[in-house]
Chain A
Amino acid sequence: MSEQEIREGMLLAVWDEPPLDFDPDKLIRRVEQKKSRRRALVAVGVATAMIAVVSLSLPGLLPRGDDSQLAADQPVVSSAPVNELTRKKAQRIGDRLAEQLSARMTNLKDVSATLDLGAVYGYPPYAPTTTRKSSDPKMSGYVFLTDQIGPTALRVEAVENGSPTRSTCGGAIMCRDVKQADGSLVTEAEFAEGGPDISRAEAVRRFGNGYAVTISSHNYNPASGSGLRQTVPVRVEVLTALLMDESIDWE
């Protein structure tokens, strides 16, 4: 078989070629589509790689606390648990107050207390104010009791910056500071407001940090504004004893 025969054989082999249906425009469109697909793929790849790098490097860039948790500028604590805990504490204080008052004055019946955060006014339902002002007490409420005359209440109020003794004593027929064994100071005051009987008795315990708790007894029911009586249902010495009760954690 000569080279010439091979040459002729190859030419004859393509002699019956099928018709060519070739469109350059179609080919160009295919290439452009392929190029745009490749560009999109590269963009997605780069974006994925960047996200991966950032997500891996971000924890290393942020400062860490001792417990290896991500440190924020301030500890992130939701307000709900704090309120819940403080409310529970206020209620515990109220329960202890009611217990101690019952123990000290056995003639009282139906002794209970409602203490809550902020300013608590009115009867019923002794609801705390929903919006709190800076002048509002930190905690307030009533200790309800019923004696031989009828139902009444003691007013309880705790403030962060207690007023000085002289403002408590203004208009009082008796006012004294009683130094307690633990170093705290209790101011006892009684008011007659022009009458022969004591219309209000008040005991204020001031702590070293300015925190002050006041329990007052009135010749009316401070929770309802009614139930006027001749004198206060609970004397100031009892109020001081309640303030100084070791089982109550005021602060």
Chain B
Amino acid sequence: MDLPEYRWLKTLTYLLLTLGLVPMLLPFLWMVSSAFKTLPEVMQVPPTWFPKQPILENFVAVFTQFPFARYILNSVAVAAIVVFGVTIVSAMAGYAFSKFTFPGRDVLFIAMLASLMVPFQVRMIPLYLMSIKFRLVDTIAGLSFPWLFDAFGIFLMRQFMQTIPTELIEAARIDGASELRIFWTILLPLVKPALAALGIFTLVGNWEEFLWPLIVTTSDASRTIPVGLQRFSEQYMSNIHWQMAAATVAVTPLIIAFLLFQRQFIQGIALTGLKD
């Protein structure tokens, strides 16, 4: 919005934008500050904004009372499988839909896209029963498989690949390049931004997936950060200082990744729109 001759409005804008940041960031401030407090200080009224004597014991407790490292590892494993799987599967399908002609192509594409309207909640019971049948309950594979197909990813990839000139591919074919080679060395590098956007979008969604892990995990062997965190809080319900330390540990990795790759994150979300 352009406000050339409304100087006071500009000042007001800065004021509002800065004031608005307070509620956006207060929870983080509160979380980090409480994570370094003792329990009595956490429960103090009126509250203290900064710990009188910062302590690290809460973080020690998080890692010793609970296999938190394991949860992080599980989360990373699931996220890696899903991000890798979704980007590859979507890129391959997007390639087929955009650069090949075959019978039933458009029907299939529309059918896959229509699955965007099928919420996970409809499928979760059959998916759970399938997990039981194939012994996927409480495994990393069981946590990952429902997310490997992403209609949105295919749509995005197809849109991107349509902008790539077909002549480029034809030329490579004439030069005798195999289809796999064309896909891997010509196509993928050209759609990198879209791949990254899709990957980040998938990562952000998967990192905080809660409902499915809640259903399908039964031991620490497969628990991811969100369900591990929830269990931690239910067991130590009044140990707020530990909860805040655990929360701090849980949010830090992705926030750091975000600060490092800000542009990509924001593009990723802008391109796709977060699902859940």
Q: Are A and B subunits of one complex?
A: no
